[in-house]
Amino acid sequence: MNIITVKDYQEMSEHAGKLLIEKVNSKRKTVLGLATGSTPEGLYAYLVKKYKEGNVSFADVQTFNLDEYVGLDGDDPNSYMHYMKHHLFNHIDLPAQNAHLPSGTAEDLEEECNAYEKKIEDAGKIDLQVLGIGLNGHIGFNEPGTSFKSRTHIVELDASTRQANARFFDSMEEVPTQALTMGIASIMNSREIMLLVSGEGKAETLVKLLEGRVTEDFPASILHEHPNVTIIADEAAYSKIK
């Protein structure tokens, strides 16, 4: 794994943005894997800025998001579709039909998962997957214990994950209990992965990732087995690494 340490959140976002834009500008039909959460917000702001300055176009890009809550439709302010529109899609030239998220309101969720996986395959693999990391090591919504062989599937969210994400909702009861997520094998199938880690709150998580062993109890640990992973961590997140 290639580890890049930067000063702070701003630098992490810009560094990630530069790598992503380089990727998009180097291949006409780039396929991007995108993440939600607080971590990539700065990255998306940077992409919007660079798009507006004319440094990048997403007209030929396809995007696949990692996950979506079950039960929230795309107009729900807490859905990941809404998040993506708000932070990125509404401000760039990515054609709406090129932006993919699994639908958390599909009638048959199993079928939706299989169709999503197939769509990624048909697009010809993800060139660059952006990842954040949950406090318990989850990537996408793959909670501890998820099989490394998993493909897009339905998950029961951990109590700790619901707690961590409750800040976006009015009350704990409103936080969905289930989500659809790309699986670990789906993520590992990407050609390249960029993991962003920021803030003191993630420092212990980063220690577990960098100093721990590869185990399904800590989903992100599988990244040690991917041939092309870059971690961009800010000083606060990196502060507990020996």
Segment contacting ligand GLP by CB under 6 A, of 12-20, 52-60, 96-104, 130-138:
130-138
Return d(Cα 155, Cα 141) in angstroms, integer. Answer: 7
DSSP character string of 78-103? TSHHHHHHHHTGGGS---GGGEE---
State phi, psi for 8 to the nearest 5 degrees. Answer: -150, -175
146 touching ligand GLP, by CB under 6 A: no
Question: To the nearest whole angstrom, how small is the minimum distance from the Cβ of residue 134 to ligand GLP?
Answer: 4
Segment contacting ligand GLP by CB under 6 A, of 20-28, 36-44, 83-91, 230-238:
36-44
The residue among 18, 52, 42, 58 whose CA lies nearest residue 199 is 42
Cα-only R_g, the chain: 17
DSSP secondary structure letter of residue 139: B
Scanning the structure block, which residue is given the tokens 């780039």? 30
Looking at 46, 51, 141, 218, which residue binds ligand GLP (CB under 6 A)? Answer: 141
Scanning the structure block, which residue is given the tokens 């943005």? 17
Q: Which residue's CB is nearer to ligand GLP, number 44 or number 141?
A: 141
Which amino acid, 231?
A: I
183 touching ligand GLP, by CB under 6 A: no
161 touching ligand GLP, by CB under 6 A: yes
134 touching ligand GLP, by CB under 6 A: yes
66 touching ligand GLP, by CB under 6 A: yes
Question: To the nearest whole angstrom, how small is the minimum distance from the Cβ of residue 8 to ligand GLP?
Answer: 15
Catalytically active residues are 67, 136, 138, 143
Residues forming the site for ligand GLP (CB under 6 A): 35-39, 66-67, 132-134, 140-141, 161, 165
